Amino acid sequence: MASGVFITGTDTNVGKTFFGSRFTHYLYKEGIHVAPCKPIESGCQIKKGFLFPADGAAYAAAINQADAWQHITPFRYAAVTSPARAATLSAQTLNLADVLNIIPQAGFRIIEGAGGLCSPLSHDALNIDLAVALNFPLLLIASDRLGCLNHCLLSLRSAAQQQLSVAGIVLNQTHAADTSGNNDLDNAAELAQYTDLPIWSLPYAANPNHISAAQENIFAAVWQRLTAC
């Protein structure tokens, strides 16, 4: 069984935290010692004098520790850009070793990267370099929309080049289903023609604070897959 998972995406704003925080909460409710960490977050707003990481706070809420965001996301930046650029704009140096030093050492680690595998993570590394250093199975998150096939296949190729294990792909439905009858997309079926990896379609959540039965079934399947890695 893997001791953790690295959550990466095909792009920014594809729902990594939406999936990751809810998956974390599912494991927490199942009584599993889970240790979430989103090491770096840019685009943070000032709240009560602190740079507040909304994504880090979502993970903190998932384990019912509202103040845990401070160690879940220790590197926080205001600039809405890559972490490496955000650190530069803050006159700070951020290296891969700094990130590795704050990764939890106990529990099932759920580590969320920043952007995609080839997005700059620090001044000396891309997200994929962090994934290699951790050596956890990857979960690839994609927004279930036109164009995601190319993004998924490019990400899988990058992972394969670094001999990274990919546990599966989550197609995140970030918007309500198109009921007009004009939506011909079936990304899951098309993607399955190019990979034997499990593909899960995570249903849209009108209430982001509620985990539906359909979502729980997917989380259970993902956990089963990870325990086999």
Residues serving a catalytic function are 38
Query: What does the alpha-carbon distance between residue 164 and residue 103 come to, in Å, rounded to a whole number?
Result: 19
Listed residue (32, 40, 182) closest to 107, CA to CA: 32
Q: How far is CA 110 from CA 15, 135, 225, in A?
A: 15, 12, 15
Q: How far is CA 190 from CA 66, 151, 167, 172, in A?
A: 40, 13, 18, 15
All residues at 6 or more sequence positions from 44 whose CB lies less than 8 Å from its CB, including other chains: 51, 52, 53, 54, 76, 77, 78
- Is 39 within 8 Å of 111 (Cβ atoms)? yes
Listed residue (172, 44, 162, 27) closest to 114, CA to CA: 44
- Is 47 within 8 Å of 179 (Cβ atoms)? no
